[in-house]
Structure 1
Amino acid sequence: MDMDSVIVGQRIHRRQKPVRIIPSANAFIYTRDNSASRRAERREPVTIANQRPGRRAPAFRWPQFVAQRLSRPSANGAGSGVAAIAPVSLLRAAAAFRQNAAGLGQPNPAGLSGRASQASRLRRIALLAGCALLVILAGAWLIMPVRPAPAVEIGKLELPAPLNLDTYLLEMFRPAEPDSSAPAGELPVMLDTFDYRVAANDTLEAIGRRFGIRVETLISLNTIRDVRRLQAGAILHIPNLDGIIHTVKPGDSLAALARNYDKSIYDLVDVNDLDSEVLSPNQVLFIPGARLPEVELQRALGTLVAWPLTGRISSPFGYRNSPITGVRQFHGGLDIVGPRNTPIGAAMNGRVAETGYSAIYGNFVILTHHDGYQTLYAHLSSIQVRSGQSLSQGTVVGLLGSTGLSTGPHLHFGFYRNGRALDPISMLPRR
């Protein structure tokens, strides 16, 4: 039996060298690794032109083909067609069918070789392996224990793990908390004042506490020379921020004032609502946050000069009859009587300019103070300071005595400015 009797309706011409088999549109030829496959490579390709005219090529199915061939009567008319088919050929055909059916489950597309089918199978295997890996990773993530999100610090926001979108958005858009290290109150951008009428028994210190303003601010803004003379019914200007008044002098500039008071030019311009940086002499400016010099504050409070000794005044400032000679002459100080060796305190802050002994004043000490002021302490029994020493108000400069021209223990206290004698009573606080 030859292959023409097996493949019905197909015309195959033998060729001497193998050619590529091109299946027709309605039939498929499966390659085989056995001798039947090698014989098929030497056949002429099956085309529609080789089919019989007017006959449609049947679908190529191995089981149906085998069933039809087995049911066909033999050539000699005896029995079924089983004896007409070589057992070896049927076995090879069945083996080829199983081999191709065990592949991808469908025939190879037209024009693809066995190598292309193998590459397709490898791609499917790789795809299945990738999908399995993703499933494994997803399962591991789902069974992973959930840990609480770490604490979030403002300014160093980090995404919690696992991500909670609601918490993240709340932290991102939460308003910033105020800085506790910042100053308690920011300076207003412009000075504003209101009037206050002083009531009976009011003090400047009590008024300042009531409105949250320093005493020195009220002194400067209202040009108070002596707070002890504040009277009921007086009108005070109460500002909305602390600071002092500065009267512009020739040559002053905003840059110089800002440098002297350690402020910015913009603060001075904003607070005083200036239209220009050019200043005029006698122009009044408010310096925000500035402090009064200690001397001016002490003068207004009445504490600039302190009594060096508490005692009776035996001889005032001015002309008098000398207790030694009886001659009328000028007395350039104040005599204060007290017990011998009573401590004598410095009337003001200052520096020791001179110490020594005089035939008239006995043991003496001269102190130099601000603005050309000087004080003299005479008739001391002993000196307790040295030249060049800096002193604060109340520091003991010596002990009360009766050295020099003296009729008894007393202190001669002199007050000078630029070398001219002043009445100490005009400088000392009332007692």
Structure 2
Amino acid sequence: MDSGKGRRYGGHLALVGIAVAILLAGRTIFANGVTAVENAKADTAVAAPSNDENSSAAENLSATNILTNAIPIVQDDSLAPAPNPYTYQPKLPEHNFQTYTVKRGDTPGRIAAQFGIQPETLLGGNPFLSEVSNALQTGTELTILPIDGLVHDVAPGDTLEGIAQRYGVSEEEIIAYGPNNLEFPYRLQPGTQIMVPGAVREVFVWKPPTLSQVRGSSFEGRGVQPVIQGTGTFIWPIVSRNFTQKFWYAHRAIDVASPMGSPV
């Protein structure tokens, strides 16, 4: 009987001992956990900046943003026109001039009358006629203009206003001539030709030199007369009265034809 009670009491004591051991172990673990949490809070407190440090950092960041905003950003997201490689190209004149080959017996007046233009217009389309006195020969090819006027060869730097002033005509007259194909802003293309209606080409007119009486420096040379000196009188040079060309703007004389060998 006594031995049974002893065993029961021994079992109870063992259970109490185990409970005490568990309680002590839990208290130690709890204490260690509190210590770890406190240490973590302390580390966080050390790592976290103070209020003064936060305000200073904010001010520095704000100043940096102001400086950054003041710098222009080279970036344009706006729509840009597509590149166009084609520049303004004016229309070119579209002339359709006739040509005429000089025949035996032709004169400027006869040729002009045949096409309903003035003799001066032959010079307007054929400037070489005023440069060489004998250029109107049999077989010569002439450009016949459709109206009275002249053809101007456009050179670099030429303007519509300058050409009009040069020939004494209005710009409107040049623009109004359809085949010139002039459209605003009326830019001229070098190397082309434009018709100048109503204009007359300037011609070279030879004038004899003016000679006065020459006085010598010595007695022998005193009173020497010039060799070339007109008398002011006129006589008909030949018997023929066959006019091949009369006096006109580009021909300040008359041409009289006669068989070869006729006396003068």
Normalising to structure 2: TM-score of the pair?
A: 0.41
Task: Tell which has more relative contact order, 1 or 2 (C-alpha 8 A, sep 6+).
Answer: 2
The structure with more helix, counted as a fraction of residues: 2
Larger-gyration structure (1/2): 1
